[in-house]
Structure 1
Amino acid sequence: MNSKRSNAQRLRDALEDDIINGRRTPGERLDAEALCREFDVSRTPVREAIQQLVASGLVTVVPKKGTFVSKVGLDQLIEMFEVMAELEGMCGRLAARRISEDELVALREAMERCEAAAKVGDTDEYYYENEGFHHAIYAASHNGFLADEARQLKQRLKPYRRLQLQVRQRMGRSLAEHREILDAIEGGDAGSAERLMRDHVLIQGERFSDFVASVRRFEACPEDTA
């Protein structure tokens, strides 16, 4: 695991991977003390990781019963990705029109960090540098409300976006899409920036099939009846 990330981040990522890949099934109870022992961490990062997993919809806290792995509906996930694509497209369009020179420098630097992570083949590191690239575009939109909404939904979809990057060759394609987005924003081409950002996030075509295949096993697990 990458030492640059906090214990809470590393624990959250590990639990996300376990849930998404079926190693922890819907209805399974997450015991805080057991997680402390398993990951050799204190209760604080466990509590923070659980809060983040609740925010992303992967786990549910049931009063007086405990914390359980949730059942994820594929239809809802697709709907959220559709909304995310539209928000990202708006951010790209506004950024192409409004980005400052300093913000353009920050975006280029974020792109360089994405390239470095992709070069060593680290999908998790690429994911976090990818976040920096997108957040730089949000900031350049100069629309605080839009940026907040995009960040919140992106966080909700984080486990599934990380999962996408594990699909063979997806990281390389994502990086190529970043280059096109950067070129459009640099050139002030608002229409292209909007379309490229939207297509970058939207799950369609082969990506849709890959995504469905990745989630289907998890969705098919029996729902908790407790």
Structure 2
Amino acid sequence: MTEAGAPSTLLLSERIRVALADEITTGLLAPGLSLDEQQIGDRFGASRTPVREAFRQLASAGLIEMRPRRGAIVAAMTPERIVDMFEMSAEMEAMCVRLATYRMNPIERSQLRRLHEESEAMVAAGDIDAYDQLNWRFHRAIYEGTHNSFIAQQATELRDRMAAFRRTQLREDGRPERSRAEHGALLDAIMRGDGEEAAKQMRAHMFNASSAMERLVATMREERDANA
């Protein structure tokens, strides 16, 4: 989703970050490309301050590099590297959901179910931004449900680094619906107290996200090459 489709509730720096992250993760902005602050600002009708904040966040996520005399450069990110990151994320998330299944209290379980129920309207409306934000809240509730602050911190940091890729895969046709269904299977396992099944479902959930990302990028590259 480009800046034209971003909801007005997002801060301007966040709108810029989301749009550029989408374009970087799908290859529309090629590795090594210089990003000019003034040009980006003109594109979004923004001053340099929100552009610089967006660049700071993108650099923190490893999507761009800030180099002396060259400014912001799109970082090199191979498909193999992205798959490796999803694999690591899958194991971290599986550990979190297994622990959370055994440690979440009834109130936390109810809150997780409520988040899942809230997502139905967002998916039906095709609101990717809203679903992405709720998706983050759903996973964060699982991290907190581990009742292990160190694990929750590590999972959050990895999630933040993966955020752009995990958001982009939601753009594949039908992916939000499938993602929500996968959340439902996760929730069922948690409610049954089956930590091993929950971990299995989480690994599958992350594998499906990685596969969706790969397919989306391949499709967009084919479309770009066809129009070249």
| TM-score for the superposition, normalised by structure 2 | 0.86
Aligned residue for 2:73, secondary structure, equals strand
TM-superposed CA distance for 1:140, in Å, is 0.6
* 1:95-125 per-position Cα deviation (integer Å, ceiling 9, x unaligned): 1100012212221222123212101012222
Code of the residue aligned with 1:99 in structure 2: it is: M
Supply the distance in 2 between the matched residues of 1:198 and 1:72 (Cα, whole angstroms). 23
* 1:67-111 per-position Cα deviation (integer Å, ceiling 9, x unaligned): 111121121111111110000001110111000122122212221
* 1:21-76 per-position Cα deviation (integer Å, ceiling 9, x unaligned): 44322222112222222212233321221111112221111123211111211211
1:177–1:200 Cα contact (<8 Å) kept: yes
Q: Which protein has greater RCO, CA pairs closer than 8 Å, 6+ apart?
A: 1
Which of 64, 68, 71 aligns to 2:69? It is 64
TM-superposed CA distance for 1:213, in Å, is 2.0
| TM-score for the superposition, normalised by structure 1 | 0.87
1:184 aligns with 2:189: yes
2:31–2:76 Cα contact (<8 Å) kept: yes
| Residue 3 of structure 2: aligned partner | none
1:74–1:215 Cα contact (<8 Å) kept: no
1:139 aligns with 2:109: no
1:153 aligns with 2:152: no
TM-superposed CA distance for 1:142, in Å, is 0.9
2:186–2:201 Cα contact (<8 Å) kept: yes
Which piece of structure 1 moves more, 81-90 or 190-199? Answer: 190-199
2:166–2:209 Cα contact (<8 Å) kept: no
Supply the distance in 2 between the matched residues of 1:91 and 1:104 (Cα, whole angstroms). 14
Which piece of structure 1 moves more, 157-166 or 200-209? Answer: 200-209
Code of the residue aligned with 1:201 in structure 2: it is: M
| Residue 177 of structure 2: aligned partner | 172
Runs of at least 5 residues in structure 2 that lack an aligned partner in the other structure? 1-5
| Residue 74 of structure 1: aligned partner | 79
Code of the residue aligned with 1:47 in structure 2: it is: R
Code of the residue aligned with 1:73 in structure 2: it is: T
Supply the distance in 2 between the matched residues of 1:178 and 1:171 (Cα, whole angstroms). 10
Code of the residue aligned with 1:66 in structure 2: it is: G
* 1:141-174 per-position Cα deviation (integer Å, ceiling 9, x unaligned): 1111111111111221222222211112111111
Which of 19, 32, 50 aligns to 1:45? It is 50
Supply the distance in 1 between the matched residues of 2:56 and 2:144 (Cα, whole angstroms). 26
2:13–2:54 Cα contact (<8 Å) kept: yes
1:111 aligns with 2:119: no
| Residue 86 of structure 1: aligned partner | 91
2:190–2:198 Cα contact (<8 Å) kept: yes
Moved over 6 A (4+): none
TM-superposed CA distance for 1:215, in Å, is 8.1
User: Alignment identity in percent?
Assistant: 39
Supply the distance in 2 between the matched residues of 1:102 and 1:66 (Cα, whole angstroms). 48
Supply the distance in 1 between the matched residues of 2:179 and 2:188 (Cα, whole angstroms). 14
Supply the distance in 2 between the matched residues of 1:34 and 1:208 (Cα, whole angstroms). 28
Code of the residue aligned with 1:59 in structure 2: it is: I
Q: Number of paired residues? A: 218
Code of the residue aligned with 1:184 in structure 2: it is: A
